[in-house]
Amino acid sequence: MHRFIVKGLPEAAAGKAVDLPREEAQHAVRVLRLREGDGVELIDGNGRVYAAEVARADRDGAAVLVRGGLPGREAPVSLTLYMGLPKAEKLELVAQKLTELGAAAVVPVVMARSVARPEGKDGEKRRERLERIALEAVKQCGRGRVPEMAAPLGWKEALSRMASHELMLVPWEEARGTRLGDVRAENPGARDIALLIGPEGGIAPEEAQAALAQGAKLVTLGPRILRAETAAIASAAAVMALWGDL
Amino acid sequence: MHRFIVKGLPEAAAGKAVDLPREEAQHAVRVLRLREGDGVELIDGNGRVYAAEVARADRDGAAVLVRGGLPGREAPVSLTLYMGLPKAEKLELVAQKLTELGAAAVVPVVMARSVARPEGKDGEKRRERLERIALEAVKQCGRGRVPEMAAPLGWKEALSRMASHELMLVPWEEARGTRLGDVRAENPGARDIALLIGPEGGIAPEEAQAALAQGAKLVTLGPRILRAETAAIASAAAVMALWGDL
């Protein structure tokens, strides 16, 4: 199934003809070679997905006829990943996988042991690249919402934002005993979860203590030492299995 | 912490001096520049991990003094991933992440919708490459056992092997309703789990039916369509969160 993002679709789009945005139309015509009558899906970026049919596809563009809304594919839990700024290619992998897993946002954080540093104008280019990766992943997995790919935050700002979520989960190598499943048993109804994953060098003890003081649940991810990106993807999957729809 | 794989370590290794294998010794001396007295860990590949100390490191090699055994880092559940043969780089990512997550084995399977095909002599080279990736991941995550990276199996052979496990989990796009957590609730004590993930094109209906006839639990991974490698990593993480030690 080919999917296109059309922002600003009216909620009552069924029965309407809609022009695909220029880039999407070019891709539909030149690369996918779609023709009149082909079934596609439209994503509005705010959570809604529609079944549609190609009404016109030629060198001037492409239009589709919206058939009707499809069942939602957003997770019943809002998961925001705060991640100690890792190397660019790791963050790109995480952005793609977290989008598929249904996360609401990915927020890089400059932490004590971050090796990578945000880089002014280059930083904004990198963020835009993450947004493109997330958009592609949205189309691939068929969800209706595009997760936020935030600009890197400093630690204090990140900590304050994390504390505003209903539940703050902090997997930490030195945490002992408490597992994600234990936190789930005590907070089965949590619907707005922040997850903090350290950078390659891990979370510094003073950061873990500061998070704890803000109400974080420090948890173990088991006795094996996971790479930062593995920890992010695996714990997001576990959160979605425990609280969400995986 | 630097870790070295030393196969054939005696169980009562504590107090003994052990030569590092040639390649490991070269790496220790030339790349890591370890010196006498540095703390390291030894992995025997069969599940045991030891604390050790460098006793000698020079151009002729390296020897360590074994201090004692460390607590086990193997998962309490044996997880074997059967995966519809995907493109090489995806299988490499899966091999690395499944090793970190504690899987016992990764078995590629030639399935109806596999685009990739095993390739004779090249296939064996690829398998050896997966083994090297798994070895590196074992050292990085500190587990004691090296998971098996199997040669690709045909579908019938794979199905018969999958059926020999205590529990066979088959995430399938067209499965509705049953989630991994539901299967966990009915099989809390399962200790030997097979997980089948389709190739990029998914599991064909006749394959899902054949697995069902062999006792498989067909499960959903939620409404979003996960890439094959995301499905493998995310469901392995969920299995480890539900039955294992994550």
| ipTM for the whole complex | 0.94
Cross-chain residue pair B221–A75, CB shorter than 8 Å: no
User: pLDDT per position in chain A (246 positions), as tens?
Assistant: 899 999 888 888 889 999 999 999 999 999 999 999 999 999 999 999 999 999 999 988 999 999 999 998 999 999 999 999 999 999 999 999 999 999 999 999 999 999 877 777 788 889 999 999 999 999 999 999 999 999 999 999 999 999 999 999 999 988 878 999 999 999 999 999 999 999 999 999 999 999 999 999 999 999 999 999 999 999 999 999 999 999
Concatenating the DSSP letter of every residue in A168-232 gives: EEEE-TT--S-BHHHHHHH-TT--EEEEEE--TT---HHHHHHHHHTT-EEEB--SS---HHHHH
Residue from A2, A184, A224 whose CB has the most chain B CBs within 10 Å, to mutate: A224
Residue B53 CA to residue B67 CA, distance in Å, equals 7
Q: Which residues does residue B66 pair with via DSSP β-bridges, in sequence order? A: B52
Interacting residues of A142 by C-beta distance below 8 A, sequence separation 6+ = A1, A3, A41, A43, A49, A73, B223, B224, B225
Pairing between strand A148-149 and A61-69? unpaired
Tell if the CB–CB gap between B100 and A244 is shorter than 8 Å.
Answer: no
Tell me the nearest-neighbour CA distance from A80 into chain B, angstroms.
17
> Which of A221, A222, A241 lies nearest to residue B180, judging by beta carbons?
A241
Alpha carbons A227 and B97: distance in angstroms, whole number: 9
Domains and CATH numbers, chain A: 2-69 (2.40.240.20), 78-242 (3.40.1280.10)
- Partners of residue A222 in chain B, C-beta under 8 Å: 73, 75, 102, 240, 244-246
Nearest to B102 among A71, A224, A238 (CB): A224
* Residues linked to residue B196 through DSSP beta bridges, in sequence order: B82
Looking at CA atoms only, how far is residue B121 from chain A in angstroms? 31
C-alpha dihedral sign at B205, B209, B211, B216: positive
Structure token digits, residue A193: 């979860």
> Model pTM?
0.94
Q: To 5 degrees, how large is the angle CA B182–CA B185–CA B188?
A: 130
